[in-house]
């Protein structure tokens, strides 16, 4: 790296050809620009990029009107997208393959989860029975939280559906939304939301 004795560098900043002009401590310097070969990625770096790409695609697949409310309010330390990536990257193998839909979280937040959540097929093939228990010390206001469901099948997700089931009812039957036309749901995600746009962490069940 060369030190410039004349104030020429004061007129320049950044890269010019194969050199870079840098200002530091009221002095100007010029040095060779770093050379990086095109696509000079290690195999491990390429694999991680595939994994990160898969989680980013998951974000796009799950994006809905509720997404900003669900993910932007979880922690002040990072934005919703970054927290989603951090939460769901563990659902994918190093090569970007989905390990198990049950490892995905479609929701996260500060509302508490209900106890012993259970999902079973009902007599109606288009609906499921969902049952749960509440903490005996649950605040009355939390009893008004609404159950939200979302389904997955063959790589597709349905939009999140706010049901008419409040937490205080301890369960009920809900229609199964289709992830996509002509696609059968294989998994269902359940979580709670309140009128202030707060959410609980999701649970996933086979159906």
pLDDT for 63-100, tens place per residue?
A: 999 998 999 989 888 899 999 999 999 999 999 999 99
Q: What is the CATH number of the domain that holds 92?
A: 2.60.40.10
Residues 159 and 99 in one domain: yes
Alpha carbon distances (Å) from 71 to 16, 63, 88, 105, 179:
42, 11, 12, 11, 21
| Token pair of 23 as six digits | 């200002």
Residues 134 and 81 in one domain: yes
Residues 53 and 119 in one domain: yes
Residues 76 and 158 in one domain: yes
Residues 81 and 170 in one domain: yes
Residues 16 and 90 in one domain: no
CB contact at 8 A, 80 and 67? yes
Domain with 11, as residue range(s), is: 2-32
Residues 23 and 64 in one domain: no
Give the number of domains in the chain: 2
Residues 65 and 111 in one domain: yes
Residues 27 and 127 in one domain: no
Residues 58 and 7 in one domain: no
- Helical axes 80-88 vs 43-62, angle rounded to 10°: 120
Q: What is the pLDDT of residue 37?
A: 56
Asked whether residue 38 is domain-assigned, the answer is no
Sheet of 115-121, strand order: 115-121, 127-133, 171-175
The pTM is what?
Answer: 0.78
Lowest-confidence segment of 9-13, 76-80, 89-93, 117-121 by average pLDDT:
9-13
């Amino acid at each position: 790296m060369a030190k410039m004795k004349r104030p020429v560098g004061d007129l320049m900043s950044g890269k010019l050809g194969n050199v870079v002009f840098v200002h530091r401590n009221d002095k100007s310097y010029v040095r060779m620009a770093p050379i990086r070969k095109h696509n000079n990625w290690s195999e491990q770096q390429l694999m991680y990029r595939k994994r990160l790409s898969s989680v980013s695609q998951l974000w796009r697949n799950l994006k809905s009107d509720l997404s900003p409310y669900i993910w932007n309010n979880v922690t002040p330390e990072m934005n919703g997208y970054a927290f989603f990536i951090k939460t769901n990257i563990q659902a994918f193998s190093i090569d970007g393959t989905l390990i198990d839909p049950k490892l995905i979280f479609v929701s996260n937040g500060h509302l508490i989860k209900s106890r012993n959540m259970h999902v079973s097929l009902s007599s109606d093939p288009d609906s499921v029975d969902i049952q749960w228990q509440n903490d005996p010390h649950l605040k009355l206001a939390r009893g008004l939280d609404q159950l939200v469901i979302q389904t997955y099948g063959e790589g597709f997700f349905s939009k999140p559906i706010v049901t008419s089931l409040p937490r205080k009812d301890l369960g009920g039957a809900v229609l199964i939304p289709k992830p996509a036309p002509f696609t059968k749901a294989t998994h269902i995600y359940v979580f709670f939301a309140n009128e202030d746009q707060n959410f609980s962490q999701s649970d996933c069940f086979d159906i």
